């Protein structure tokens, strides 16, 4: 029995375990949308903009571990995905995106809604395909899912001509993936693992730097075991947050430009750094020639290109973090680093007094972002999935939320995409409907993808939204304040009536201006059976501290 290329696509997606597609129809992908009616197993979520589809698919992938799937039309449908593809590529998020393409005979003729999708997406994907024959689609889908979710995860693009969607051929489903040039190494070299164990066992001041790779490889329990057995403090990157419970005695805070003082300063005092699934990017290292010169660095990453790219590494280990830690653990001796851990406390107390108490327990003035985030986290008993947009709201959310379960924090890290939060929160709720989901955004980023509020309503998603409104592009304003002599240029932002807009979409909303109303408003939002928006009028010209200025070392952070 022969099937159309569109039907084969649907069958192939079901075979890969796909249950949700985020998309937006159009002329060049219409045969696939027609075929979808025959396959009710594939739940389609109609977004309001293709960028929203990509970010929603990212949110879904981040909380489920399964590749997120997007379906769009040709031309602007495909090009509107580019920001999401680049975001997923930077943050190692597995996506499989399918776009319609004009018919084969029209390619290269500047046909209506034609775009060179393969050329345009080549730098923002792990791989891409142009399918002009229905017999190629089953193999391409099989390979795409394998590529997206193995090795270093990332997005894969399939561009599917309209004539190939209509054409019929036999469907062959029991295909084997055979990609001779793609063989990710998951098992670490045992000799290197043994050398790492020797360094860890003799170290007096070891420090684990936990990155996104810990969560991707589902290695949270192995990380915890290593930390406990060898009594090693653990610091997390922005994407590594929630890989270890914040309440654990060995968790010492977040690394990075707006991270906690203790782990940043102590990086330059450690004798051994154990980097697990991180890139040692500029936000973590600060000035490279002053970064951890005293330490021997052990770097575990599944991507060999990341090792030694930014920092010199004494013991490189290419492999999956979980697999490497499983092999490492039997070689690790029990240890006690009580004195070393106590050194972190000095800096922790300094930050607590000069920053954290000031931000979370003010008695006068406008509401502060930190007290809102802290209140949301404690009200949800630190069990919610928190999705942050980008900017000051992002750094505040990362700093003042408490995470007790893996994959509880989502944000755009490498690309820093404003507008990420709302659609990513949609994807997170679709992927984990049983979890409470909070989307925290600034007034700037929220307006970038505000149209996805209607997607929330149409899908009846019970998400909670907190808009931290300071009428500024807060992070840009902060830099202009600190480093451009307070010369504000195009950062003041007049905002619409978010309450009326939310109610216009059909989402219950309220504005919170007074500190005394904070707890009750959050409580009402949480109890409401459905989506709920809270707009908070916050301090307008607040800055996020600590901060590691550009060009500074990790131990040169400013507290004010």
Catalytic residue, from 112, 190, 483, 484: name it. 112
Q: Is the dihedral of CA 359, 493, 484, 281 positive or negative?
A: positive
Active site annotation includes 113: yes
Known active-site residue 494: no
Indicate the average pLDDT of the chain. 97
Q: What is the pLDDT of residue 489?
A: 97
**Chain segment 230-273, per-residue pLDDT in tens:** 999 999 999 999 999 999 999 999 999 999 999 999 999 999 99
Q: What are 81's two structure tokens?
A: 């995905």
* Average pLDDT of the segment spanning 342-356: 97
Structure-block tokens of residue 138: 């089953």
pLDDT at residue 449 greater than cutoff 90 = yes
Across 494-517, average pLDDT: 97
Extract the runs of DSSP E, i.e. beta strands, from 278-330.
296-301, 315-318
What DSSP element (H or E) covers 215?
helix 212-216
Rounded percentage of the chain residues whose pLDDT exceeds 90: 99
- H/E stretch holding 276: strand 272-276
Annotated active-site residue 537? The verdict is no
Among residues 113, 325, 158, 106, the alpha carbon closest in space to that of 230 is found at 325
Using DSSP, state whether 131 is helix, strand or coil.
Answer: strand
Domains 2-170 and 366-537 share a fold: yes
**128-156 per-position pLDDT tens digit:** 999 999 999 999 999 999 999 999 999 99
Active-site residue, selected from the candidate residues 30, 113, 199, 454 = 113
Confidence of residue 363 (pLDDT cuts 50, 70, 90): confident
pLDDT over threshold 90, residue 103: yes
Residue 39 has pLDDT above 90, yes or no: yes
Compute, in degrees rounded to 10, the torsion defined by CA atoms 199, 288, 268, 299.
-30
Prediction pTM value: 0.97
Q: Is position 101 annotated as part of the catalytic site? A: no
CB 469 within 8 A of CB 511: no
Cα–Cα–Cα angle for 182, 219, 306, rounded to 5 degrees: 45
Q: Which of 89, 157, 254, 475 is catalytic?
A: 475
Among residues 50, 359, 436, 452, the one annotated as catalytic is 50
Which residue in this structure is represented by tokens 């851990």? 341
Within 365-512, where are the H helices? 369-379, 392-400, 421-431, 443-448, 453-458, 474-483, 498-505
Pair 22, 185: CB distance under 8 Å: no
Q: What is the DSSP letter of 356?
A: I
Please state, in angstroms and rounded to a whole number, the distance separating the CA atoms of residues 335 and 187: 26
Three-class DSSP category at 287: coil
CA 226 to CA 105: how far, in whole Å?
59
Helix residue ranges, H only, 74-189 = 76-79, 82-91, 117-121, 137-149, 162-166
The token duo for 455 is 């997607």
- Which one from 11, 126, 162, 322 is the annotated catalytic residue? 162
Q: What are the residues whose beta carbons fall under 8 Å from the beta carbon of 221, sequence distance 6 or more?
A: none
Q: At what angle do helices 321-328 and 220-230 cross, to 10 degrees?
A: 30
3-state secondary structure of 473: coil
Whether residue 373 contacts residue 389, with contact meaning beta carbons closer than 8 Å, is answered with no
- CA atoms lying within 13 Å on the CB side of residue 544: 26
Task: Give residue 174's pLDDT band: very low, low, confident or very high (50, 70, 90).
Answer: confident
- CATH for 366-537 is 3.40.50.970
What mean pLDDT comes out for the span 10-35? 98
377 within 8 A of 404, measured Cβ to Cβ: no
Catalytic, 490? Answer no
- Both tokens assigned to 78: 């495909």
Instruction: With a cut of 90, say whether residue 550 has pLDDT above it.
Output: no
Domain assignments of the chain as residue spans, ordered by start: 2-170, 190-344, 366-537
User: With 90 as the cut, is the pLDDT of residue 1 above it?
Assistant: no
CATH number of 2-170: 3.40.50.970
Number of Cβ atoms within 10 Å of the Cβ of 42: 20
For 262-317, the pLDDT digits (tens) are 999 999 999 999 999 999 999 999 999 999 999 999 999 999 999 999 999 999 99
| CATH-assigned architecture of domain 190-344 | 3-Layer(aba) Sandwich (3.40)
pLDDT of residue 173: 86
């Amino acid at each position: 029995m022969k099937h159309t290329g569109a039907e084969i696509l649907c069958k192939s997606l079901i075979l890969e375990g796909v249950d949700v597609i985020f998309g937006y129809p159009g002329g060049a992908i219409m045969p696939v949308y027609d075929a979808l009616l025959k396959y009710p197993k594939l739940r389609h979520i109609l977004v309001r903009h293709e960028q929203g589809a990509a970010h929603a698919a990212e949110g879904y992938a981040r909380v489920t571990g399964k590749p997120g799937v997007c379906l769009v039309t040709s031309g602007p449908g495909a090009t509107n995905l580019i920001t999401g593809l680049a975001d997923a590529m930077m943050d190692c998020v597995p996506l499989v995106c399918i776009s319609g393409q004009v018919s084969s005979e029209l390619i290269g003729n500047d046909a209506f809604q034609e775009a060179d999708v393969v050329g345009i997406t080549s730098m923002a994907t792990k791989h891409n395909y142009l399918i002009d024959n229905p017999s190629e689609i089953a193999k391409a889908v099989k390979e795409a899912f394998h590529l997206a979710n193995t090795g270093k995860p990332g997005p894969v693009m399939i561009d599917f001509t309209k004539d190939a969607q209509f054409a019929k051929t036999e469907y062959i489903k029991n295909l084997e993936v055979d990609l001779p040039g793609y063989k990710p190494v998951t098992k670490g070299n045992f000799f290197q693992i043994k050398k790492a164990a020797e360094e860890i066992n003799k170290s007096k001041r070891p420090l684990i730097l936990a990155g996104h790779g810990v969560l991707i490889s589902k290695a949270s329990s192995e990380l915890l075991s290593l930390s406990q057995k060898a009594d090693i403090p653990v610091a997390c990157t922005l994407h590594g947050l929630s890989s270890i419970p914040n309440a654990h005695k060995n968790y010492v805070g977040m690394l990075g430009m707006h991270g906690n003082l203790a782990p940043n300063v102590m990086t330059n005092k450690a004798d051994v750094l154990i980097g697990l699934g991180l890139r040692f990017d500029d936000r973590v290292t600060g000035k490279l020639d002053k970064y951890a010169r005293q330490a021997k660095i052990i770097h575990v990453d599944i991507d060999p290109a990341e090792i030694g790219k930014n920092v010199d590494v004494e013991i490189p280990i290419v492999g999956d973090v979980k697999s490497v830690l499983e092999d490492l653990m039997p070689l690790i001796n029990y240890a006690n680093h009580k004195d070393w851990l106590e050194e972190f406390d000095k800096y922790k107390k300094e930050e607590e007094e000069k920053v954290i108490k000031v931000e979370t327990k003010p008695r006068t003035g406008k509401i502060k972002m930190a007290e809102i985030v802290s209140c949301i986290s404690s009200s949800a008993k630190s069990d919610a999935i928190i999705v942050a947009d980008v900017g000051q709201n992002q750094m505040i959310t990362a700093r003042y939320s408490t995470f007790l379960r893996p994959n509880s924090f989502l944000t755009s890290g490498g690309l820093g995409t404003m507008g990420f939060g709302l659609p990513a929160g949609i994807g997170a709720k679709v992927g984990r409907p049983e979890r409470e989901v909070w989307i925290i955004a600034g007034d700037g980023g929220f307006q970038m993808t505000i149209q996805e509020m209607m997607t929330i309503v149409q899908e009846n998603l019970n998400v909670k939204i907190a808009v931290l409104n300071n009428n500024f592009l807060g992070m840009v304003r902060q830099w202009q304040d600190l480093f451009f002599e307070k010369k504000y240029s195009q950062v003041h932002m007049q905002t619409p009536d978010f309450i009326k807009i939310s109610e216009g979409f059909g989402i219950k909303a309220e504005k919170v201006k007074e500190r005394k109303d904070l707890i009750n408003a959050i409580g009402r939002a949480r109890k409401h059976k459905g989506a709920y928006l809270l707009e908070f009028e916050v301090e307008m010209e607040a800055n996020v501290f600590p901060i590691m200025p550009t060009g500074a070392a990790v131990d040169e952070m400013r507290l004010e």
